[in-house]
Chains A and B, each alone.
Chain A
Amino acid sequence: MQATFRIWRSKAAEGGGFVDYPTEVSEGMVVLDAVHQIQADQAPDLACRWNCKAGKCGSCSAEINGRPKLMCMTRLNTLDLTQPVTVEPMRTFPLMKDLVTDVSWNFRVKPTIKKFTPRKPDAADGTWRMAQRDADRVQEFRKCIECFLCQDVCHVLRDHDKHDEFIGPRFFTYSAALEMHPLDSADRLRDLKDTHGIGYCNITKCCTKVCPEHIHITDNAIIPLKERVVDRFYDPVTRLLRVFSGGRAT
């Protein structure tokens, strides 16, 4: 059976546009298979970023029929193939070419978050002890494959371009993984409030909806971080204590 893929192509002069590629499809195929087939048969220079083709590396993020998804995990039988399937690059990031975007901003943000700082080892042999239930809590966040679909869909970045003041859901999840790490002893709350812009998030949960790893980004990472920030900096009782203790109770 044939299906048509309407793929975004960059064209240096006129800025780019959609090109229709009809191609043969078969049972079990995913969108990335179709893109590969089109590369091999019709458009060798079509730019597409991918690695594992198993939903584990987070390279092949795109917008398929307008929805942010991994191309390798989007099966064709979940799409209406009587209509052309549109495949576009993520819109929040600058376009490099065709389906490939410049996501380097994310790699610049990460080092601005205070690194993991373990407490002193628990045992004489220099090792630590932790309970599985404590490990479980951060393992949810550590499942993140850094596909940046959450960043792509977040309106603070997508519509308001707050890239300089706001680190986005991926890095709130990363901050949460560190803040809730059973061994970590660093404090990131002031950074979250002042430079990482957690206040901009108004909990629309778009990030959670698109996460291919099904991480509860809003409920389990962002809201607890917001609560910690509020408790620290805006709680009236704490502020009162701070007045009496000469500012030390932070």
Chain B
Amino acid sequence: MSVAQAYTYDVLIVGAGGAGLRAAIEAAGQGVTVGLICKSLLGKAHTVMAEGGMAAAMGHNDDRDNWKVHFADTMRGGQYVNNWRMAEIHAKEAPDRVRELESYGAVFDRTPDGRINQRNFGGHRYPRLAHVGDRTGLELIRTLQDHTVHLGVTVHMEFTVVELLLDDGHVSGVLAYDRERGRFHTFAAKAVVLATGGVGRAFKITSNSWEGTGDGHGLAYRAGAELIDMEFVQFHPTGMVWPPSVRGILVTEGVRGEGGVLRNSEGRRFMFDDIPDNYKPQTASDPEEGWRYTQGDKSARRPPELLTRDHVARCINREVKAGRGSPHGGVFLDIAWIKEKLPDAAAHIRRKLPSMYHQFKELADLDITTTPMEVGPTTHYIMGGIKVHADTQESSIPGLFAAGECAAGINGANRLGGNSLSDLIVFGKRAGEYAAAHARTRGAARLDDGAVTRAIGAALAPFERGDGGENPYKVQQDLQETMQSLVGIVRTETEMQSALVALQGLRDRASRAGVSGHREYHNGWHTALDLRNLMDVSEAITRSAIERKESRGGHFREDFPDKAAEFSTCNVMTQRQADGSMRVSRVTLPALPAELATVIDEQKT
């Protein structure tokens, strides 16, 4: 099998969202050669869709904020199964990473005294999210992209990695194809950083773009890396529910941060009916106090709409199941009501939430300044992923690093809104830094020609089966249906066991996927290849969710609705065995140091 081109880099980064770009900037700054592979055009990655902001305890809007409060909020949000060291690093370093973006040219919204403005968000005690209206992700990715293009990083756009290559247990590079011509290319590298994002495309209703097919998760898993926390999938409470073709597209939490409220079909603000005990001291006792909180009153406590995402999503789910939903199977999210409170509310909404205004106007023909939106839960984020060393982001495979959504640990059982963008820049930087340092200690990487030939053969197999094979689009749709209905927001043992059976059937069909025609920009072929990653992550999610017999954060079991002590000290780990089967095990969480335990206790009031 022929390879069109062979590239060699010190550090190869797979993925060009926030984490991949930040890693590239850091590695390039260390003076090593850097290659960057992205599945799409540069600047189109899923980061672009992030809306609300990035969390960093800069204390601009409330000087009571500091890293300790952010750390405690992150741990509480993650139900204490986070990797404490990652949560600590994240809380301490996020402010510097955000300020650094300003030196790269990012233009954040400002406070009256000209500093970076910070907004309220679910689970964050103080206003903490640096933002640009509701298009913070675009600002982040464009800033990093425009900075990167002047650093000598070689970008390979519209390339997809199909296999990680190892040399004697150490990562040595990857095999990739280019979309334009369908040719194969090898990339030899002394260190590889995976920054491939999430897995949302395993579910039918998702806020994720097409790229969220779990590529990094799947590549690392097949190479033998350890994955943890795969049962923890975040269902964002507010996705669009109508019209059907846009179902799942995100409606930013910023709507609630600006005073938007959730109501059921009876007009009731149902979030006041179910406030978890550990959040009661911080939650408003009535709508008036909640409103004052959203308007910056420091003596007020937050409205229950801004409780953590897992909780709000389940409350919405409950209202819909109880028959109190909106006409198209969601609930109402109302920001228009603030006209009772503010003069010129319509202009205010358009200024604070321009993308949301635009999105509903164009896609649903609805004016959010006058009419409530219909919203419902949508698969948004996976807390689980590649297990990494907290400081270096190196995985269990030497030389293989991971950052951003495809890495695991910082978020525990549930991620707070705004912690994702800051995760990308904090750990993207670290991954780039340590990957570059690692590369310096290594001699030239050697690629295994036999492995390359085998991987090319496997990738071309769908063409040999031709049109007689399974339609890859149909297999993907059926997989999404299976995961959505059997391993979704509310889970049971019985349903998940039947999901495992269904997944085996889907795996068989995926292995028979066939396409015909030429290799040039063949979307059907690309879909067939993506299926391998989707199958692996779906199985890991399902097996991990079966293993965790309790409810915690994003993982809710109807048959085990409460938290269980035995699971409060462990992560569920999945790893590929030599025979190709998936091993599930429990690994003990690293012990929390006494001084950090004190920090958490201090913040519990």
Contacts and interface: CB of A to CB of B under 8 A. Distances in A.
Contact of B48 (A39, A52, A116, A132): A52
A131 B116 CA distance: 10
Given A39-B473, A54-B246, A59-B41, A115 B359 contact: no
Contacts of B180: 96-97, 102
Interface string A198-220: 00000000000000000000000
Contacts of A146: 43
A36 to B, nearest CB: 8
B496 to A, nearest CB: 28
A135 B209 contact: no
Interface residues of A, number: 60
A230 interface: no
Contact of A97 (B40, B142, B471, B521): B521
A139 B515 contact: no
Contact of B477 (A30, A40, A56, A97): A40
Contact of B109 (A51, A59, A126, A132): A132
Contact of A181 (B107, B139, B209): B107
Interface in A125-150: 126-132, 135, 138-139, 142-146
B102 A28 contact: no
Contacts of B523: 39, 44-48
Interface string A92-113: 0000111010111001001100
Nearest to A100: B521
A27 B243 contact: yes
Contacts of A190: none
Given A100-B521, A118-B105, A30 B471 contact: no
Contacts of A110: 146, 149
Question: Which of B355, B474, B477 is the most central at the interface, judged by chain A CB atoms within 10 Å of its CB?
Answer: B355
A10 B599 CA distance: 63
A110 B132 CA distance: 23
A26 interface: yes
Nearest to A70: B362
Nearest to A36: B473
A197 interface: no
Interface in B40-74: 40-46, 48-49
B462 to A, nearest CB: 10
Interface in A29-73: 29-30, 33, 39-40, 44-59, 73
Interface string B85-101: 00000000000000100
A131 B111 CA distance: 8
A100 B41 CA distance: 12
A91 interface: no
B211 A131 contact: no
Contacts of B471: 40, 44
Interface string B501-539: 000000000000001111011111101000000000000
Contact of A111 (B40, B117, B150, B210): B150
A162 interface: no
B246 A28 contact: yes
Interface string A178-206: 10011110000000000000000000000
B157 A104 contact: yes
A33 B245 contact: yes
A54 B362 CA distance: 10
A12 B517 CA distance: 11
A242 interface: no
Interface string B134-172: 010111001000110110000101000000000000000
A129 B521 contact: no
Contact of A53 (B209, B362, B515): B209
Contact of B138 (A12, A27, A135, A143): A143
A111 B518 CA distance: 34
B362 A103 contact: no
A125 B242 CA distance: 48
Contacts of B44: 51-52, 57-59
B589 interface: no
A116 B114 contact: no
Contact of A127 (B99, B132, B149, B244): B99
Nearest to B520: A97
A130 B110 contact: yes
B521 A28 contact: no
B344 interface: no
B472 interface: yes
B546 interface: no
A228 interface: no
A115 B522 contact: no
Given A39-B524, A51-B209, A127-B99, A44 B115 contact: no
Nearest to A27: B243
A69 B496 CA distance: 43
Given A47-B520, A59-B40, A111-B149, A142 B48 contact: no
A201 B113 CA distance: 39
B153 to A, nearest CB: 11
B138 A145 contact: yes
B594 to A, nearest CB: 31
B133 interface: yes
Contact of B521 (A33, A44, A96, A139): A96
Contacts of B517: 44-45
Nearest to B104: A116
B103 interface: yes
Contacts of B110: 130-132, 135
25 contacts: A27-B243, A33-B245, A39-B524, A40-B474, A44-B473, A44-B524, A45-B522, A47-B521, A50-B210, A51-B44, A51-B210, A54-B359, A56-B137, A57-B209, A58-B44, A73-B362, A75-B362, A96-B520, A103-B41, A118-B102, A139-B132, A142-B138, A142-B142, A145-B48, A183-B102
Interface of A: 12, 26-30, 33, 39-40, 44-59, 73, 75, 96-98, 100, 102-104, 107, 110-111, 115-116, 118, 126-132, 135, 138-139, 142-146, 178, 181-184
Given A107-B155, A118-B102, 16 more contacts: A33-B245, A39-B523, A45-B522, A51-B44, A52-B46, A52-B209, A53-B209, A53-B246, A55-B359, A100-B521, A116-B104, A116-B146, A128-B114, A129-B115, A143-B135, A181-B107
Pairs A-B, 3 closest by C-beta atoms: A28-B243, A44-B524, A129-B114
Interface of B: 40-46, 48-49, 99, 102-105, 107-110, 113-115, 117, 132-133, 135, 137-139, 142, 146-147, 149-150, 155, 157, 180, 209-211, 242-246, 249-250, 355, 358-359, 362-365, 471-474, 477, 515-518, 520-525, 527
